[in-house]
Amino acid sequence: MNDFLTGFAPDHVAAVGALLAAAVLILPGARVVAAHAVMGAPWAVRLRAGWAAAGTGERWAAALLAASAVIHLGLPLGHGGGLIAVAFLASGVAYGWLAVRALTGRRWRGLTVALVLATLVAYLIALARGEEADQVGLATALVELAALGLAVGVRRRTAATALLMTASVLFGVGSWVAAFAGHALEDAAAASGPGTGHHHDGQHLARAQAGVIMRPGATGTTPGQERAAAELVAAVRAASARYRDVSAALADGYQPDRAGDGLDVHFDNKQRSDDGAVLDPARPEQLVYARAGDRSVLLGVVFRMPRAGERGPQIGGATTTWHTHNICVGPLPPGFGLVTPYGTCPFLTAEVTLPEMMHVWLVDSPAGPFADALPQDVARRALAMQGS
């Protein structure tokens, strides 16, 4: 379940729970409506008659609008109070109201187009301000785009198709650009201190990148594997002690992947990437630093397999899990980027799977020394306490 929830921002889990609860209540709710319709309750009679008279498009539209309503009404449970909670509640009520109108034969199409476009624009603005494009937000946006298609796809089909395609492309590109920018900009800002806005505890990139692939591993560990994992951590800690000084890393051929500050600046060594060594504690392919101005702290190392498709040795069983990334490579600047919110690469780019890699963190990680990501608050605290 934890792996399943990796794609969800913590503030959005409650909304997913609300949607699952609503799905469970559909059949009991239908029985309640039927019972009240038999008793002559006007609201139940209208709903039942509307369902019987509605076409397939109206039924699907009502279902999609209702799903979006439940998600929006559930979001304040994770976000707390404030203006954003009021906005979620208002949009949830609006989506629910439109779902009822679609099901009861009243005008809903024009209002749905306006609401969906306004919601998507607001979401893109939130992304630009630091909100993360997690799988809950993206899936909800796709539901709303589907409702938009049903709202505009009956008359003037050419114009309707153009509107739907334009909205889908603009939203996807906007989300992709926001996720890509968040990889560097949010990280650099966080290196200087706690940020402002809606950042979900600094875990932006861990969920925003759809291209992260965790290789299934062993389901448990033996005592021998546990000892091997502990010995690997101890060996890495001893061998990498000299790299606490960034100048020593530079002297040994490690180069930073970008200029400036950050909480996960990777120093790559091209020679060690091509030397054929696998899981050598003294020769990691990458070093990971947190940097802010003239201060830096070594957070951990990254071991990487020589070629894509080769599996890294799981000497610690399920503890030492390797992962890889799908990235998008193309001829236009910056030359690479993240997989889009729709799970594919942007136009004129090709999807490439990188070799498997495994982190060994040298600072205390809540998920253990082999976790695929380190929380930014941990990196920031290490930088404040140990940075030199």
Least confident piece of the model among 38-52, 124-138, 203-217, 332-346? 203-217
Least confident piece of the model among 114-118, 166-170, 191-195? 191-195
Beta-strand ranges (E) seen in 195-347 are 212-214, 255-256, 262-268, 286-292, 295-304, 323-329, 336-337
Separation of alpha carbons 334 and 355, rounded Å:
21
pLDDT score at 80 = 65
247-261: pLDDT as tens digits = 999 999 999 988 878
The domain locations on the chain are 2-191, 209-386
Q: What is the mean pLDDT of residues 45-62?
A: 86
Least confident piece of the model among 174-188, 254-268, 287-301, 343-357? 174-188
pLDDT score at 376 = 83
Q: Taking CA 11 as the corner, what is the angle to CA 10 and CA 12, rounded to the nearest 5 degrees?
A: 90
CB 225 within 8 A of CB 217: no
pTM to 2 decimal places: 0.54
Q: What is the mean pLDDT of residues 156-164?
A: 62
pLDDT score at 268 = 93
pLDDT score at 83 = 84
pLDDT score at 226 = 92
